[in-house]
Amino acid sequence: MKRKIKNNVYWVGYIDWELKTFHGDDYSVNHGSSQNAYLIREEKTVLIDTVWKPHSEEFVKNLESEINLNEIDFIVANHGEIDHSGALPLLLEKIPDVPIYCTANCVKSLVGQYHHPEWNFKVVKTGDSVDIGNGKKLIFVEMRMLHWPDSMATYLTHDNILFSNDAFGQHFAVEELYADKADPCLLWYEAMKYYANILNPFSPLVKKKIDEIISLNLPIDIIATSHGCIWRDNPLQIVNKYYEWSKDYQENQITIAYDTMWEGTMKLAHKIGEEITKLSPDTTVKIFNISKFDKNDIMTEVFKSKAIAVGSPTVGGDILSSVGGWLDFLKELKFKNKKAAVFGCYGWSGENTKILRERLQKAGFSVVEPEIKCNWNPRLEDFKKAEDVAKALLGL
Ligand code: FEO
């Protein structure tokens, strides 16, 4: 069912309360999500984005209940990823000649995914626009690498709506659609989780793109994202937040992440946490067992942190595979300007701290000298080293 957003602009997306993971199983979804698509009915009828393939039949059926599909003058595909383009094949079976406005990279991704080079693509780039009647036009802004090479935003003049696609979104279901109707704690957590886990690697581009959008001097009344809430009450609040997050964001927090075999490394993790709290009571300390806690949520905490400590016992001349996989993901997210410390127990060969140190350096962390490498179960002298680790992480 369509939902009015402003004047002749309607939401026609899908709110997915059942979604548990995204990007395969790579991103945990704890509070639902949505795929937001929009219908503009001026002299021209325009569809902006679609939904993920599993919901395509329902999406097309809903559209058909609102309009004759042949009335759609063109589609704007802001992004080729399947969660927004998944209904195109079904839709284009019904209206095969409809023009699709998108970037040159989006043509590549759509043809690569759906194998329909004959679709009526109209390639656009930043600054291009198209009249939709009643004095209104759509202006296109390429959002290259935010977060795919094909990403784009579309601006509707007069109504002052920025259809931003993935940017400024969240995996978060809000039946009322709007950010001002959502639980603010959940909303801001999910917005940060989305940024930390999807957009952080592209932070330098985020900052540059926001500067570019601001320099266009376009009034923005509404930011209509493709996931989660629509921002209508002070929509620039999320833009300002992205700007802040894009500049090597950190809070007064230290996150400790570890895995353990027989609890020795776990005890060291808690001792380091205790020492940080003793030395700096204002610093937030969070401690996670990597195997027992959601990796995307831990990364959100890492994003907020000024420093981290990572622990693993030695096993098979290496570190635990759970910690190894977690470090791969950490490297992918390209965090900057954060310190790290290493710790862990071993029985005989003891390669763990050296490997952790190397892996964290490769992930872009500045690894402090003090560490705890503990033979068998921690003794008093091992626990005493936690103070030096805590001091180094706090910069004392
Ligand atoms: Fe929501 Fe990049 O797709």
In the prediction, which pLDDT does 216 show? 84
In the prediction, which pLDDT does 213 show? 84
In the prediction, which pLDDT does 30 show? 97
CA 348 to chain centre: 41
In the prediction, which pLDDT does 144 show? 93
User: Are the beta carbons of 172 and 33 closer than 8 angstroms?
Assistant: yes
Reading the chain (396 residues) residue by residue, the pLDDT tens digits are: 799 999 999 999 999 999 999 999 999 999 999 999 999 999 999 999 999 999 999 999 999 999 999 999 999 999 999 999 999 999 999 999 999 999 999 999 999 999 999 999 999 999 999 999 999 999 999 999 999 999 999 999 999 999 999 999 999 999 999 999 999 999 999 999 999 999 999 999 998 999 988 888 889 999 999 999 999 999 999 999 999 999 999 999 999 999 999 999 999 999 999 999 999 999 999 999 999 999 999 999 999 999 999 999 999 999 999 999 999 999 999 999 999 999 999 999 999 999 999 999 999 999 999 999 999 999 999 999 999 999 999 999
38 is catalytic: no
Q: How far is it, in rounded angstroms, from Cα 58 to Cα 194?
A: 26
Check 16, 42, 49, 83 and give the catalytic one: 83
- In the chain, helix, strand, coil percent, each to 5? 35, 25, 40
- Answer yes or no: is the C-beta of 81 below 6 A from any ligand 1 atom: yes
Count CB-CB contacts under 10 A for residue 348: 8
Cβ contacts of 123-127, under 8 Å, gap ≥ 24: 124/152
User: Ligand 1, atom 3: nearest CA belongs to which residue?
Assistant: 81
Count CB-CB contacts under 10 A for residue 276: 26
- Do 271 and 235 lie in one domain? The reply is no
Domain that holds residue 180: 3-245
Could you tell me the pTM of the whole model? 0.96
We report the CATH number of the domain holding residue 167 as 3.60.15.10
- Which numbered atom of ligand 1 lies nearest the CA of 147? 2
In the prediction, which pLDDT does 69 show? 98
We report the CATH number of the domain holding residue 320 as 3.40.50.360
**Which stretches does DSSP call E strand in 52-201?**
74-76, 100-102, 121-123, 129-133, 136-142, 152-156, 161-165
Backbone dihedral region for residue 100 (phi beyond 0: left; psi -120 to 50: alpha; all else: beta) = beta
> Which element (helix H / strand E) includes 343?
strand 339-346
- Answer yes or no: is the C-beta of 171 below 6 A from any ligand 1 atom: no
Q: How far is it, in rounded angstroms, from Cα 164 to Cα 168?
A: 7
- Do 337 and 355 lie in one domain? The reply is yes
115 is catalytic: no
In the prediction, which pLDDT does 58 show? 97
Check 79, 84, 155, 346 and give the catalytic one: 79
In the prediction, which pLDDT does 130 show? 98
Domain boundary among 210, 245, 280: 245
In the prediction, which pLDDT does 217 show? 85
- Do 186 and 99 lie in one domain? The reply is yes
Q: How far is it, in rounded angstroms, from Cα 64 to Cα 15?
A: 18
In the prediction, which pLDDT does 215 show? 86
Domain boundary among 245, 278, 298: 245
Q: Whole-angstrom distance between the N-terminal and C-terminal Cα of the chain? A: 58
Q: How many domains does the chain have?
A: 2
31 is catalytic: no
- Do 240 and 301 lie in one domain? The reply is no
Joined together, the tokens standing for residue 163 give: 């259809």
81 is catalytic: yes
- Do 193 and 285 lie in one domain? The reply is no
In the prediction, which pLDDT does 54 show? 96
Domain boundary among 181, 214, 245: 245
User: Ligand 1, atom 2: nearest CA belongs to which residue?
Assistant: 81
54-90 per-residue burial string, b: 16 or more CB within 10 A, e: under 16: ebbeebbebbeeebeeeebbbbbbbbbbbbbbbbbbe
